[in-house]
Amino acid sequence: MRRLFFQFLGGLMLCFFLQSCSEEQNFDQFDDLSITPTVASSIFYLESDEASINEVDSGPFYYQTVNFDAFNEEFVAERLIEGTISYEIENTTSKSLQVSIEFLDEGGNVLDIENFNIEPNLPEPSTRDVTYGPTGKSLNILAATSGLRVTGNNMSDDTSVSNASDPKVILRSAAEFIFRLK
């Protein structure tokens, strides 16, 4: 009889604890959640010394097409809210240069072009930010881009030499993209 009483009392206490310590869960909070991460990435890096620029008789001193499949998944392209591509230019050469960056779709068609007219002997690096989205260029350019074609042309002679110890031109690019995951 005692054993039956303790089992009944233990069961009653267990029900009491389970009922008093639990709270109804609200799983609808997920519907109110807004997730917008920022993804940063380097895109390309161009570097050429003055001697290499002088060696080219005609045509570009730099020409390269790079793959850029950041938005090849429809899920990613559809959730892109905005983006910024930042370019940093250093030129310690004696050359006036022109660099063009063409944004290409899968068929090799040009979607957009960024042109840089670079002055010789820049005292410090210069930067340019290009925004895409509500306050800038169309997001469709980024969403459809699958490659970048970078072309560098010497707009000066091919004999002048800078007084800098290691004259070169450097063009760096990086990007930040904001996505809405939900």
pLDDT tens digits for range 147-179: 999 999 999 888 888 888 889 999 999 989 888
Q: Measured in whole angstroms, how far is the alpha carbon of residue 75 from the centre of its chain?
A: 17
Write down the number of H helices and E strands in the chain.
5, 8
Q: Contact 144/151 with Cβ under 8 angstroms?
A: no
What percentage of the chain reaches a pLDDT higher than 70? 80
Q: Chain-wide mean pLDDT for the chain? A: 84
Is residue 26 scored above 70 in pLDDT?
A: no
Q: Contact 37/181 with Cβ under 8 angstroms?
A: yes
Is residue 15 scored above 80 in pLDDT?
A: no
Q: What is the pLDDT of residue 39?
A: 75
Q: Contact 162/94 with Cβ under 8 angstroms?
A: yes
Question: How many other β-carbons are positioned within 10 Å of the β-carbon of residue 89?
Answer: 20
Is residue 57 scored above 60 in pLDDT?
A: yes
Is residue 12 scored above 90 in pLDDT?
A: no
Domain boundaries, the chain: 33-179
Length of the chain in terms of residues written: 182
Q: What is the pLDDT of residue 162?
A: 87
CA angle at 96 for the pair 91 and 97, rounded to the nearest 5°: 75
Task: Give me the CATH code for the 33-179 domain, please.
Answer: 2.60.120
Which pTM value belongs to this model? Answer: 0.76
Please give the helix or strand (H or E) that residue 21 lies within, else none.
none
Under the banding of pLDDT at 50, 70 and 90, the label for residue 14 is: low
